[in-house]
C-alpha cells in the first residue's frame, strides 16, 4: 500500500514526498556503510545517489514490475558502496555477498545509464548560476517561460527564452566536447591495448 503510494509520488512529480518517506531506510544504510569503513557523509551521499537511481528507474516502470522499492533502494546503496570501496581500493574481492543481491541486474543497468548523466552533470557545474537556474526551472520544475522570466527578472518572455537557448547551447557544446574527449580517450585506450 505504502509502496504503490511512493511509486505514484515518484511518477507524478511529487518526489519530495516520496523521498521523505524513503528516508526511513536511511538509518539501515548508514549502519551498513559505517560498518564497512565508511563515514556518515559518505553514507548520505550514497543514499541520495541511490534515491536518484530509484527515481529514474521508477519513471519508466510498469505497474506490475516485480521490483520492491525498499529492496531496490537498499541493494543499490550496497552496490554503490562496494563500487566506491573498489575505487578507493579499500577492499577487494570481498563482494561475495553482493553476487546474490536481489535486483542486481536492474540496478546495474540503471547505474550504467546514470553514468552518462553524471559526466554531463559535472559539465553543468561549470555553467553560470543563472543558466543552471533557468534550465532547472524549465526542464525539471516545468515552470512556464512567463514564470521563469518573472523569477529571474527579465522584462520580456522573449529575452528569457533567448537566454535559455544560449544556456542550452553552451551546455550542449560542453557536453559535445566532453563526449568527443571521452570518445577520443576511449579510442586511444583501445589503440594502446
Residue in 6, 7, 15, 111 binding other proteins, rule: CB under 8 A: 15
Residue 156 CA to residue 160 CA, distance in Å, equals: 7
Among 146, 169, 185, 187, binds other proteins (CB under 8 A): 169
Return d(Cα 93, Cα 131) in angstroms, integer. 44
Cell of 128: 553560470
Residue with cell 566506491: 84
Give backbone dihedrals phi and psi of 49, rounded to 5 degrees, phi first.
Answer: -60, -40
- Determine phi and psi for 68, rounding to 5 degrees: -100, 130
Among 5, 70, 84, 124, binds other proteins (CB under 8 A): 124
Per-residue string for binding with other proteins, 38-67, x by CB under 8 A? ------x---xx-xx--xx-----------
Rounded Cα distance, 77 and 43, in Å = 9
Tell me how far, at minimum, the Cβ of 131 lies from other proteins, in Å: 10
Q: Which residues bind other proteins (CB under 8 A)?
A: 15-16, 19-20, 22-24, 26, 44, 48-49, 51-52, 55-56, 114, 116-118, 120-121, 123-124, 132, 135-136, 139-141, 161-162, 165-166, 168-169, 171-172, 175-176, 179
Amino acid at each position: 500500500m505504502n509502496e504503490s503510494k511512493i511509486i505514484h509520488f515518484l511518477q507524478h512529480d511529487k518526489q519530495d514526498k516520496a523521498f521523505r518517506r524513503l528516508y526511513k531506510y536511511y538509518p539501515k544504510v548508514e549502519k551498513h556503510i559505517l560498518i564497512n569503513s565508511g563515514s556518515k557523509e559518505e553514507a548520505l551521499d550514497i543514499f541520495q545517489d541511490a534515491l536518484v537511481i530509484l527515481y529514474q528507474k521508477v519513471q519508466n516502470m510498469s505497474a506490475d514490475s516485480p521490483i520492491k522499492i525498499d529492496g531496490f533502494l537498499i541493494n543499490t546503496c550496497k552496490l554503490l558502496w562496494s563500487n566506491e570501496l573498489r575505487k578507493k581500493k579499500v577492499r577487494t574481492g570481498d563482494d561475495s555477498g553482493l553476487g546474490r543481491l536481489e535486483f542486481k541486474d536492474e540496478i546495474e543497468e540503471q547505474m550504467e545509464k546514470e553514468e552518462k548523466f553524471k559526466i554531463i552533470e559535472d559539465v553543468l557545474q561549470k555553467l553560470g548560476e543563472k543558466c543552471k537556474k533557468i534550465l532547472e526551472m524549465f526542464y525539471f520544475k516545468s515552470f512556464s517561460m512567463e514564470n521563469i522570466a518573472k523569477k529571474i527578472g527579465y522584462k520580456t518572455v522573449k529575452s528569457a527564452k533567448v537566454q535559455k537557448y544560449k544556456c542550452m547551447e553552451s551546455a550542449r557544446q560542453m557536453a559535445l566536447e566532453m563526449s568527443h574527449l571521452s570518445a577520443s580517450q576511449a579510442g586511444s585506450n583501445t589503440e594502446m591495448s
